[in-house]
Amino acid sequence: MNVAEVTLEKKYHRAVEHWRRHWLPDYETLLAQWDRYFPQDEPFCLCAKMECGTPDRVAVGEHAGEAKRLAPDELSEEEARHLLAIIRAQASTEFGSIQQHSGTLARAQDDEDRFWVLRVMAEELRHGYQMFHLLLSQDWSKAAAGVRGEEMVEEILSMGTGSHVLDAFNLEYDSFVDNVCFAALVDRVGKYQLTMQKVCAYKPMADSMPPMLREEAFHLAAGVIPMRRWAKRAAQGEGFITMQGLQRSINKWYPRALEMFGDERGGDSNVRMGFKDMKNRQAQDLYIEEVRRMIRDINARYLRARFPGYTPEKSDQVLDEVERSRGRHDGVAFEDLLRLPDRRFFRRKGEPAWTMVGLEGESFAEVDDYLRHLAQRLPEAYLAGGDMKRYAETLRLVVSGQLGVEDAIRKMPRLKRVGGNCPCSRAVRWVVEEPAS
Amino acid sequence: MPEVQAEVRIRPLDELDIGSIVRIDERITGAYRPDLWEQRIGYYLRRDPEASRVAESGGRVVGFMLGDVRAGEFGIEEPGGWIERFGIDPDYRGRDLRTRLVSAILAHLRERGATKVRTLVDRKDAGVTGFLTALGFTPSPLQALERHIEPRESP
Ligand SMILES: [Fe+2]
Ligand SMILES: [Fe+2]
């Protein structure tokens, strides 16, 4: 495992640093405290990391067996545009999640939790930087008929919560529970995307994946480990975070996470062009099973903390029994445990878009009944926000037949105008490196 | 135990293995120690997720081995591998899982440029020492030393 580290041309590097000063103001604190929270770990490096020695041949699709493409000009226009859309979406998620995390980071109750999330944010910045390297180190304009990497980078740096490519990155966090549930659920989709892209027929993209995946393993831990600890404390009646609070956050993020895979019926072109090795539904199915395991694991942690005298076998048996009967066991109700929402719950994209399916898979006929069902299952602060309001308005139009499902899918999210997101109002123009005034 | 016959797969450690590792440790030691393993697995995952491996049979984790690459410790500058903890579910002993776990970790350490792998064993634990010797581990010129610290002792 040999990795080459690359830095962007100065003006682009500075633009990322400038962005970082706005959205990751604790970056210097993280670096100063790095050895305290991550002793012996390699110091953080804001650079692109390219894995050496990855396969040279295309693994899947219509070019399988051919040499991997090393430059944009070796791709057809269709392929170049398609790949650029993947890179743009990937980059948008990296920068978008930092903006989301920064909103509630300070509300962490525990310093270790906060520093773990800070490290996640810094690594997401590196991932965004990595995607910029792909856009900027080679000329895409011929292959993609005039699309310039530099313009794409400028656009991505000007996106904010509300104007990102994927819906999951357009929702604000409501509390620190969201920082953690997001890492456990949404970063997990990221892991799937990166794993699928390891085969990418465009070699610089494939080479970017292994170093990102190594970092992503920690992001998932930064989600699951605090969730396990919160479940334990909830069982012992300590702390502020309840199992119901965790469940509400899961209900908020899980539907958006599922939609990040793309429409369940799609993904053929990714495989055909050799950019990913799985279609959307196939990857989503695996993801769902993994989240099911995660929830089971957290529930087991809760039960053992609640009944310290139980053996693991007894605890398993109780878990199975309560899940099956939806009843109670010695003071623990079915509602005290976490559960996996139905894959059609609260969806606005993909196959089940705008159907009214409840958490347990039950169907609703009336919009008001369904909205009441959602109101009892989503975080209170989220219910009061703009996303929920737009969702409810759109749902009414769809159910009354005034808006087609396809049009409704395109309507969410309502994009904010891109640009002007830099709080210093100089936008993200390249040469912004004057001393702060 | 029918699943003992199922095929065993060795794969890198991930965060969802914590529960299974806690359980294997509990079967071996009799102690339920989730806090310890959450902390340790957080450590190994952030260092290098591929340097630690688990053995999976029929979708269940039945063995684990946690490793790491470090440089600069004890004055050793070149990167060296460490294998620090392992455990095999007692129902799966005698199936060579430890050997398969070690081989997977060695292959990864080699890729990372390590030319040596180290571990510490209790000399009294003949089983572990014998197993490691069979895998080519030999006593190291580096020797672990220790002394007792009295609760109140003048320096
Ligand atoms: Fe990332
Ligand atoms: Fe991540």
Q: Is residue A424, in this structure, part of any structural domain at all? A: no
Q: Which residues of B touch A293 (CB under 8 A)?
A: 16
Q: Which of residues 319-378 of A touch B (CB under 8 A)?
A: none
User: Mean pLDDT over residues A61-66, rounded?
Assistant: 98
pLDDT(A423) > 80:
no
Q: With contacts defined as CB-CB under 8 Å, which chain B residues touch A232? A: 34
Lowest-pLDDT range of A31-40, A70-79, A400-409, B72-81: B72-81
Question: Is residue A306 a part of any domain in this protein?
Answer: no
Kindly tell me the sign of the dihedral angle through the C-alpha atoms of A415, A417, A419, A425. Answer: negative
Homologous superfamily, domain B8-134: Gcn5-related N-acetyltransferase (GNAT) (3.40.630.30)
Residue-level pLDDT at B121:
81
* Residue A394 lies in domain: 314-411
Of A1, A41, A220, the CB nearest to B47: A41
Q: Which pLDDT score is estimated for A427?
A: 45
What's the average model confidence in pLDDT over B57-73?
90
Quick one: pLDDT at residue A432?
Answer: 31
Structural domains counted in chain A? 2
What pLDDT digit, counting tens, does each position of A156-215 carry?
Answer: 999 999 999 999 999 999 999 999 999 999 999 999 999 999 999 999 999 999 999 999
Helices (H), B1-155: 18-29, 34-47, 97-111, 126-134
Question: Residue B5 — very low, low, confident or very high, per pLDDT cuts 50/70/90?
Answer: low
Q: What does the alpha-carbon distance between residue A260 and residue A267 come to, in Å, rounded to a whole number?
A: 12
Instruction: Judge whether residue A400 has pLDDT over 70.
Output: yes
pTM over 0.90: yes
For residue A435, is pLDDT > 80?
no
pLDDT band at B70 (very low <50, low <70, confident <90, very high): confident
Residues of chain B found within 8 Å of residue A290, distances taken between Cβ atoms? 16
Residue showing tokens 């990166």: A194
Distance CA B96, CA A132 (A): 46
The total of other beta-carbon atoms located within 10 Å of residue A333's CB is 12
Q: Pick from A218, A295, A316, A340 the residue to mutate for testing the B interface (most B CBs within 10 Å).
A: A218
Residue B3 has pLDDT above 70, yes or no: no
pLDDT at A269: 96
Cα(A183)–Cα(A114) distance, rounded to whole angstroms?
A: 13
Q: Are residues A376 and A291 in the same domain?
A: no
Do A273 and A350 fall into the same domain? no
Question: Percent of chain A having pLDDT more than 70?
Answer: 94
Last residue of a domain, one of A276, A301, A326: A301
Phi, psi of B82 (to 5 degrees): -130, 135
Q: Read off the CATH number of the domain in which A150 is found.
A: 1.10.620.20
pLDDT value at position B127?
Answer: 81
**pLDDT score recorded for residue B132:** 85
> pLDDT: is B27 or A428 the higher one?
B27
Band of the pLDDT at A2, cuts 50, 70, 90?
confident
What is the rounded distance in angstroms from the CA atom of residue A101 to the CA atom of residue A106?
Answer: 9
The pair of three-digit structure tokens given for residue A274, joined into one six-digit string: 């050799």
On whether both A267 and A404 belong to a single domain, the answer is no
Contacts of A123 (CB under 8 A, 6+ apart): A44, A215, A218, A219
pLDDT at A436: 34
Task: Say whether B38 and A228 touch across the interface (CB within 8 A).
Answer: yes
Q: How confident is the model at residue B71 (pLDDT cuts 50, 70, 90)?
A: confident
Tens of pLDDT, residue by residue over A199-230, are 999 999 999 999 999 999 999 999 999 999 99
Look at residue A29 and tell me if it is in a domain: yes
- Average pLDDT (A374-392) is 96
Return the pLDDT at A434: 32
H or E stretch at A49: strand A48-52
The answer to whether the Cβ–Cβ distance between B18 and A224 falls below 8 Å is yes
Report pLDDT for B77.
73
By DSSP bridging, strand A328-329 and strand B60-70 are unpaired
Q: Are residues A22 and A134 in the same domain?
A: yes
Dig out the tokens for B152 from the structure. 């109140």
Residue A431 in this model has a pLDDT that exceeds 80: no
Do A164 and A102 reside in the same domain of the chain?
A: yes
Domain's final residue, options A258, A276, A301 = A301
Q: CB contact, 8 Å: A218 with chain B? A: yes
